Amino acid sequence: MTFPLISVALGGALGAVLRFVLASALMRDGFPVAILTVNVLGSFSMGLAAVLLGKAGLANVQPFLLTGVLGGFTTFSAFSLETLTLIERGTVGQAVFYVCLSVGLSLVAVALGLFIARSLL
């Protein structure tokens, strides 16, 4: 149990640094192209890695790469993989519900957090 935790922690640190470097390099005023790029690249990489690691029999690398590096790079990649997994299972209704709930509740949560923080200041 200890090795996977360390592996995820190290991968997460690496992913967060990669996100910061890429987002800093792409930062522009206006439309959030930097984070959009991070989310799309992370999702693409999650799809590739999930299949390639599975086929190569490298399940022991998944905590480091999928949960750690890509999770630290962007949690949107995990969200994307979970959504497509629901669709592939034939539960399209659940996938749509999951997307709507995730995006909707996340927007409400950030709005609530902003409201509370602003009211405290």
Binding residues for Na(+): 71, 74
DSSP 101: H
- Which residue positions form the known binding site? 71, 74
The answer for residues whose C-beta is within 8 angstroms of residue 16's C-beta and 6 or more apart is 72, 73
The answer for residues whose C-beta is within 8 angstroms of residue 46's C-beta and 6 or more apart is 66, 70, 77, 78, 80, 81
Using the structure block, give the residue that is written with the tokens 């790469």. Answer: 65
Q: What is the enclosing helix (H) or strand (E) of 94?
A: helix 92-120
Can you list the alpha helix ranges (DSSP code H) found in the chain?
2-26, 33-55, 62, 71-73, 76-88, 92-120
